[in-house]
Amino acid sequence: MIFESALRQAGAIRAANMEEFFDLAKAFEFLDLPAGNRLSIITLSGGEGVMATDACEMNGLTLARFGPKTHEALKKIFPPWEIPLNPFDAGVCMEFHLADLENFFKTFTAITEDANVDCILMQMPPNFNYFMSSMHNIPEEMLQSMTEEYLNLLLSMKRPGKPFAMWCSALVKEEMELIELLESRGLPVFPSAERAIRAFAALYRYRNYREQICAKDGKRGDGQDI
């Protein structure tokens, strides 16, 4: 207990095991500190969304409430019988927009620009280009160009001061290749939503610690002048 108290006072983030240690290292390397604890979750299945919500509550984060502008933007890609909520079930929407994935993903920028959202976690969509190449004889050069466009769509959701990460549960060869490309460009991908959320929570706790220390020096928790 004394050791734990000393760590908290020093602002240290303690990992429970080696798995969490590497998750925290990834988070602090790739992500900015969040301004708050309001998390937006974009999932491809309802079950994953439920588990992510539970992990959010267990780790001291709250589900962000989308503003009216975000609701209106998301309604454009949602089927009429659904209401865009958080967690946002993108899997339902994707079935209706497979022919126009570019505008589908661009709609998500409404979430990244919502002032009510402090951080964003998204389940990594399938690497459609690899599936297409397995069904059609697509030249390698064209496949690389398609993959580049796909990467740019995902990377376009990044915003300074608003950490954005992904998780991918199906670590098959094709997805691992996409993960390597994303992380080489500064977008971290975690093996599960729960592990990603624990990392987000650690960033938030560290931000709070910095707020307490930096306030004495007239600074904000991100090191900027108040």
Residue 194 lies in a domain: yes
| DSSP string of 99-133, one letter each residue | GGHHHHHHTTHHHHT-TT-SEEEEEPPP-HHHHHH
Residue 74: name the closest of 48, 45, 95, 105 by CA. Answer: 105
- Does residue 133 form part of some domain? yes
3 state DSSP class of 48: helix
Cα(126)–Cα(118) distance, integer angstroms:
25
Is residue 82 one of the residues assigned to a domain?
yes
Query: What pLDDT is attached to residue 9?
Result: 67
pLDDT at site 125:
79
Residue 117 lies in a domain: yes
Tally Cβ neighbours within 10 Å of residue 63.
18
What percent of the chain is modeled with pLDDT above 70?
A: 78
Nearest C-alpha neighbor of 117 from the set 24, 200, 20? 200
Nearest-CA neighbor of 168 among 179, 157, 158? 179
> Which of the residues in the chain have pLDDT under 70?
1-11, 81-82, 95-101, 127-138, 215-226
- Whole-number pLDDT of residue 209: 87
* 224 occurs within a structural domain: no
CATH of the domain at 105: 3.40.50.261
Find out whether 127 and 175 touch, Cβ atoms under 8 Å. Answer: yes
What pLDDT score was predicted for residue 224? 52
Kindly report, residue by residue over 198-220, the tens digit of the pLDDT. Answer: 999 999 999 988 888 776 666 65
Range of the domain at 102: 19-213
Is residue 115 assigned to a domain?
A: yes
User: E strands, the chain, where?
Assistant: 38-43, 62-63, 88-89, 119-123, 164-167, 189-190
Beta bridge mates, 121? 41, 165
pTM score of the predicted model: 0.85
Structural domain contains residue 3:
no
In a domain, 108, yes or no: yes
Instruction: Report the domain count for the chain.
Output: 1
